[in-house]
Amino acid sequence: MATALLVIDPQNSFCNPGDAQGNSRGSLYVEGADSDMLRLAAWISENKYDIDSLYFTMDWHHPNDIAHPGFWQNAEGSAPAPFTQITAKDVSTGKWIPRFEPERTLEYLQALEAQNEYPHLIWPPHCIIGSEGAAVYSPVMQAFEEWAALGNFYNAVTKGEYPLSEHFGAFKAQIPDSEIPETELNEELLDELNDFDTIYIAGEARSHCVANSIKQILDSAEYLAEKIIILEDTMSNVSGFETLADPIFKRAKAAGVRFTTTKTKIIDAE
């Protein structure tokens, strides 16, 4: 039985709670994420001989990202506060003005709203390319290195570099752009995962990037569903969005996705 582990965005911006030793709190810290990642790290160490391949996504953003405050301004020149929702109407009426690519930004918001799924929110700047926040949270990185020391090579999958679209899920941007290949469906990654008998999924945040990764699998490669086992105690929701992803996880269960916790070893779950 070949087993893969896919970890979604185990990065400092989401997972680091800060401490007295000077480690700064992640700018988009997800409450409970540090405990989630400690459980995941211990599980990886415990199951390292039974994990055949390891994939993890890296959320990478420019400072001037469509979901960061600096991308926007109002008529007075002020940026929106984090967690502000911006709609296509807000742009059309001049309530919020994109500082970059105004026509493409409006088209993006219109396309996003047509999906009727996730509204466009402004987040605290996070996972800035090259920053401490973009790095893998240390306890998880240590577990990755421990697994690699056995002679393995992990696979880092970057996402989010294109600044004109959110890229929650592991496999494509919320609104792909045919001129930007990295925003389109990552069929190569889906094909690679299909080579495994079992695919464990962990990471942050449950409400957004994990849920969208699961949805993208169900939309584009539902044949993978019965191979997937979600480690439920390795993910938490962004505060205020505790039920947002519930319909996606309900759909996943109906499609054959299994759910377990880090208390279960790989050999037991399979």
Instruction: For residues 144 and 227, state if they share a domain.
Output: yes
Instruction: For residues 230 and 149, state if they share a domain.
Output: yes
| DSSP bridge partners of 5 | 54, 200
Instruction: For residues 91 and 25, state if they share a domain.
Output: no
How many residues in total does the chain contain?
A: 270
Q: What is the pTM assigned to this prediction?
A: 0.96
- Please report whether residue 120 resides in a domain: no
Instruction: For residues 30 and 145, state if they share a domain.
Output: yes
Instruction: For residues 55 and 134, state if they share a domain.
Output: yes
- Would you list the DSSP string of 181-240? GGGS--HHHHHHHTTSSEEEEEES-IIIIIHHHHHHHHHH-GGGGGGEEEEGGG--PPTT
Instruction: For residues 187 and 106, state if they share a domain.
Output: no
Instruction: For residues 151 and 206, state if they share a domain.
Output: yes
| DSSP bridge partners of 260 | 231
The boundaries of the domain holding residue 91 are: 69-115
Domain count of the chain? 2
- Give, for all 270 residues of the chain, the pLDDT tens digit: 899 999 999 999 999 999 766 678 999 999 999 999 999 999 999 999 999 999 999 999 999 999 999 999 999 999 999 999 999 999 999 999 999 999 999 999 999 999 998 999 999 999 999 999 999 999 999 999 999 999 999 999 999 999 999 999 999 999 999 999 999 999 999 999 999 999 999 999 999 999 999 999 999 999 999 999 999 999 999 999 999 999 999 999 999 999 999 999 997 654
Beta carbons within 10 angstroms of residue 153's beta carbon? 8
Taking the CA atoms of residue 148, residue 197, residue 57 and residue 51 in that order, the dihedral angle to the nearest 10 degrees is -20
Q: What is the C-alpha radius of gyration for the chain, rounded to an integer number of angstroms?
A: 19
Instruction: For residues 178 and 130, state if they share a domain.
Output: yes
CB 60 within 8 A of CB 209: no
Instruction: For residues 74 and 108, state if they share a domain.
Output: yes
Instruction: For residues 214 and 158, state if they share a domain.
Output: yes
Q: In sequence order, what are the residues at sequence separation of 6 or more whose Cβ sits closer than 8 angstroms to the Cβ of residue 100?
A: 64, 71, 163, 164
- Please report whether residue 189 resides in a domain: yes
CATH of the domain at 156: 3.40.50.850
Instruction: For residues 78 and 19, state if they share a domain.
Output: no
